[in-house]
């Protein structure tokens, strides 16, 4: 039986100096930004301790074990064998997205984003010099899926790229292999590019059916890039490391033409930590984390059903983010503002994810059962007042 990974105590977490634990006063429970409250994977801790002990704190090398470590991880976890020679590292997924979009679009070109979506996507497209074209996910009542007809219309109207979130943030949707295959065909037939942000992929629950975009077809490999990182699953965002992954000669050629500084922005500690995270040595820890997150996503459902029955929430397929519709409570377009002010719980603002986020909040359940329970109790008390 897999042993769950348990979150640190609230007292210990208050000693952290990262954004999650420094943005708000100590009376606020912070469940907004995507940091987790678990101890590091032991292999990651050992790698970082060794680097500090040995003073291994210089520039990242031109040749590192990171790509090979990710290949092993992808084989074990997804049954996918990408080519390590077709990968380049950079500081984070956001930087990778911008650098790729800059080279597959011209200033003013439109890039499809599938709202509601990770708020920085809007800014990243603009940073690359392009223009956002929103094509909302289709809400089927019990799940979300890509609106392939809407994406086709956008491409026929001149959109040049699709910025895909796979698995999707904030809904936790794992896009089906069939949808990804169809998306690749659409992009290929319109000469467009797909950039797939797969930062939440290691957090896909067993049996969710997660499929890497570049694995679905020859068309996907010709039109696509993936940008991956250990940072979300292993809580390494501050160490700055991601991989840009190609799967064809054409797309690899684009990565090879990136300025050398793009790769040099990789953090040395980030590379060492990510290599350890992707190693087989960390699989047991990750399996335990997924058990805890499965328990927590179900706990959120149970607590909402008991305390806030008018809230609408679907279990995410991946990640540690709960997308909750509070429209039925009548708390306005941005209920997180009232929740922060009156309940002293910090959630991510729903409207930041696009117009579809009105009346919604995003709650980070990558923490302890006690913190989740107290947060929902505080929020529910607003309805009892």
Q: 294, 274, 281: which is closest to 233 by C-alpha?
A: 274
Q: 169, 198, 174, 229: which is closest to 366 by C-alpha?
A: 169
**What are the extents of the domains in the chain?**
10-40+283-384, 44-280
pLDDT of residue 385: 59
Per-residue pLDDT of the chain (385 residues; tens, 9 = 90+): 899 999 999 999 999 999 999 999 999 999 999 999 999 999 999 999 999 999 999 999 999 999 999 999 999 999 999 999 999 999 999 999 999 999 999 999 999 999 999 999 999 999 999 999 999 999 999 999 999 999 999 999 999 999 999 999 999 999 999 999 999 999 999 999 999 999 999 999 999 999 999 999 999 999 999 999 999 999 999 999 999 999 999 999 999 999 999 999 999 999 999 999 999 999 999 999 999 999 999 999 999 999 999 999 999 999 999 999 999 999 999 999 999 999 999 999 999 999 999 999 999 999 999 999 999 999 999 977 5
Q: Which helix (H) or strand (E) holds 348?
A: strand 348-349
Q: Exposed, middle or buried by CB within 10 Å (0-12, 13-18, 19+), for 295? A: middle
Q: Looking at the DSSP assignment, which residues form a beta bridge with residue 360?
A: 325
How far apart (Å, rounded) are the C-alpha atoms in residues 226 and 175? 14
The 3-class secondary structure across 52-67, one letter per residue, is HHHCCCCCCCCCCCHH
pLDDT of residue 1: 84
Topology classification of domain 44-280:
3.40.640
Does the pTM exceed 0.95?
Answer: yes
Alpha carbon 86 to chain centroid, angstroms = 22
CATH assignment of 10-40+283-384?
3.90.1150.10
């Amino acid at each position: 039986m897999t042993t769950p990974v348990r979150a640190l105590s609230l007292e210990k977490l208050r000693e952290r100096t990262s954004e999650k634990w420094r943005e708000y006063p100590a009376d606020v429970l912070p469940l907004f930004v995507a940091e987790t409250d678990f101890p590091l994977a032991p292999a990651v801790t050992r790698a970082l301790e060794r680097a500090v002990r040995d003073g291994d704190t210089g520039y990242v090398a031109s040749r590192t074990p990171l790509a090979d470590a990710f290949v092993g991880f992808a084989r074990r976890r997804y049954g996918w064998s990408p080519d390590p020679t077709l990968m380049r590292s950079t500081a984070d997924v956001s930087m990778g997205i911008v650098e790729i979009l800059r080279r597959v679009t011209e200033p003013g070109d439109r890039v499809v984003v599938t709202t509601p979506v990770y708020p920085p996507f809007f800014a990243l497209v603009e940073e690359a010099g392009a223009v956002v074209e929103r094509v909302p996910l289709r809400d089927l009542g019990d799940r979300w899926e890509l609106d392939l007809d809407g994406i086709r219309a956008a491409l026929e109207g001149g959109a040049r790229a699709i910025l895909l979130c796979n698995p999707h943030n904030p809904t936790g949707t794992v896009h089906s292999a069939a949808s990804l295959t169809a998306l690749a065909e659409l992009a290929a037939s319109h000469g467009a590019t797909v950039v797939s942000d797969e930062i939440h992929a290691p957090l896909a629950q067993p049996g969710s059916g997660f499929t890497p975009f570049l694995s679905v077809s020859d068309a996907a490999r010709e039109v696509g890039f993936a940008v991956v990182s250990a940072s979300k699953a292993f809580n390494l965002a501050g160490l700055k490391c991601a991989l840009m992954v190609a799967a064809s000669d054409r797309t690899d050629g684009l990565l090879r033409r990136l300025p050398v500084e793009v790769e040099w922005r990789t953090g040395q500690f980030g590379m060492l930590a990510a290599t350890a995270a992707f190693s087989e040595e960390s699989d047991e820890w990750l399996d335990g984390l997924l058990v805890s997150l499965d328990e927590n996503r179900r706990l959120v459902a149970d607590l909402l059903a008991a305390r806030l029955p008018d809230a609408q929430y679907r279990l995410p397929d991946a990640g540690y983010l709960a997308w909750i519709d509070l429209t039925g409570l009548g708390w306005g377009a941005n209920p997180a503002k009232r929740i922060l002010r009156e309940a002293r719980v910090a959630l991510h603002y729903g409207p930041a994810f696009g117009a579809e986020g009105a009346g919604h909040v995003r709650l980070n359940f990558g923490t302890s059962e006690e913190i989740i329970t107290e947060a929902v109790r505080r929020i529910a008390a607003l309805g009892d007042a």
